[in-house]
Structure 1
Amino acid sequence: MIRIFDFLSAFFGLVFGFPVLLVLWVIGVFDTGSPLFKQERVGKNKKPFTLVKFRTMRPDTASVASHLADANAITKFGAFLRKTKLDELPQLWNVLKGEMSLVGPRPCLFNQEELIQEREERGVFAVRPGITGLAQVNEIDMSTPHLLAETDAKMIAEMSISRYFKYILLTITGKGSGDRVRPSK
């Protein structure tokens, strides 16, 4: 049932959100010259997939987890996208393709070995990664691998339809601040 809701939400989100996506893409062209950010991430059963987001950092920024990136790499438009979480909208494409869910553990990078090990020990890779979830609405990010993996496992174990919609609603209404970026020097 959740996959059906994911599919329909992603489909209608992309169709009806197309004008917003187009405007953000055009502004992104002027901001960085390359409005879409694509990165290989760890998916369900540790299968790789290409995550798509709106670019919030300069194109020459190193491909590392957000908490390891320098805050100076974030553009002014990128800061707006992060604050409003609009940078996540292109991930509806990943949801439509079945690589992600609206709710699930945030997909990590393959070089985040400690987080991968923690998640593997807790069976987190048995589910599709998500755009939002329990960790995101509680401001737990990838800078704390053990806590994040525990929180992901708790969310998976306690998942219900009501909690699924609760995490979506909390995200839409602004709960959580997304991945932290290290302060600029």
Structure 2
Amino acid sequence: MDELSVVFHFYPEKHDDTTTKTNVFERTLYPDFHFDHQAQRSGHFIKRAIDLVGSSLAILVLLPVFCFISILILTTSKGPVLFRQERLGQFGKKFIFLKFRSMQVDSDDAIHREYIKKLITENKACEESSDCLQKPVYKIRNDPRITPIGAFLRKTSLDELPQLLNVFRGEMSLVGPRPAIPYEFENYDIWHRYRLLQVKPGITGLWQVTGRSSTTFDEMVRLDLKYIHEWSLWLDVKILLLTPWAVIKGKGAY
């Protein structure tokens, strides 16, 4: 009788506070998340080179746009040009995430905290009658904290441009999963944490260009995992080429 090779994986469904507060990325919790490091090493080296060259050129070319947006923000609302927020990057390493400020200064994040908690724990897409239909997964439509200029920047995704600086500094990539907010991570199930392993977060990604703006959180995570497992330089190129069209259509951009 021929022998059968069977691989069994066990995934814990629950985690305690100790796991979250100490080493949130215990590799033993993800037994089938393996990479051929020799095969991937050269690819990721090229990916970083593309990120570095691409972000540098984009910053230089878009410098007039940066200046114009900065003037608009400074002359229409009080506060700094840039919004800075702590995010979780590769392997859960914290970094300061940059965006053009689109909200009033000192805006309370309680609304967004509650929205994110409900989005993740209830795993619901926007209801068809909901006011958030046709909006990206992580954004609240008619958010009272948004400035008039901020609404335009968000609609056109121009508020995301400063993330090119995050890419240049090596904290993010041009393409990758969306960087998580720490209070968002607190609501993650074990398998959701896959999306913070191995690869750097990106400005754009697979779920953003699919146009699934009313998707569930779980579906969004699955698209991130699909990107991670099927990653190639060609996939990055395809996502980058599809991103402008996704922004123009107003679907999937965040």
1:135 to 207, 227, 232: 207
Identify the residue that residue 50 of structure 1 maps to in structure 2.
96
CA distance in 1, matches of 2:159, 2:102: 7
- Residue 83 of structure 1: how far off its partner (Å): 1.5
Secondary structure of the structure 2 residue equivalent to 1:178: coil
Larger Rg: 2
TM-score (norm 1): 0.86
CA distance in 1, matches of 2:77, 2:69: 12
Deviates more, 1:26-35 or 1:92-101: 26-35
Cα-Cα RMSD: 2.2
Identify the residue that residue 183 of structure 1 maps to in structure 2.
none
- Residue 30 of structure 1: how far off its partner (Å): 1.6
Runs in 1 of length 4+ with deviation above 6 angstroms? none
Identify the residue that residue 178 of structure 1 maps to in structure 2.
253
TM-score (norm 2): 0.64
Q: Counterpart amino acid of 1:39?
A: Q
Native 8 Å contact 1:106 1:132 kept in 2? yes
Q: Counterpart amino acid of 1:169?
A: L
* 1:78-89 superposed matches below 5 A: 78-89=150-161
Identify the residue that residue 31 of structure 1 maps to in structure 2.
76
Between Structure 1 and Structure 2, how many residues are aligned? 178
Secondary structure of the structure 1 residue equivalent to 2:177: coil
Q: Counterpart amino acid of 1:78?
A: G
Pick closer, same or farther for the CA change 1:82–1:59 going to 2, 3 Å. Answer: same
Native 8 Å contact 1:118 1:146 kept in 2? no
Deviates more, 1:96-105 or 1:13-22: 13-22
Q: Which runs of 5+ in 2 are unaligned?
A: 1-45, 117-137
Q: Counterpart amino acid of 2:93?
A: K
Native 8 Å contact 2:195 2:224 kept in 1? no
CA distance in 1, matches of 2:192, 2:216: 12
- Residue 62 of structure 1: how far off its partner (Å): 2.4
Q: Which runs of 5+ in 1 are unaligned?
A: 180-185
Secondary structure of the structure 2 residue equivalent to 1:74: coil
Native 8 Å contact 1:115 1:146 kept in 2? no
Identify the residue that residue 41 of structure 2 maps to in structure 1.
none
CA distance in 2, matches of 1:141, 1:60: 28
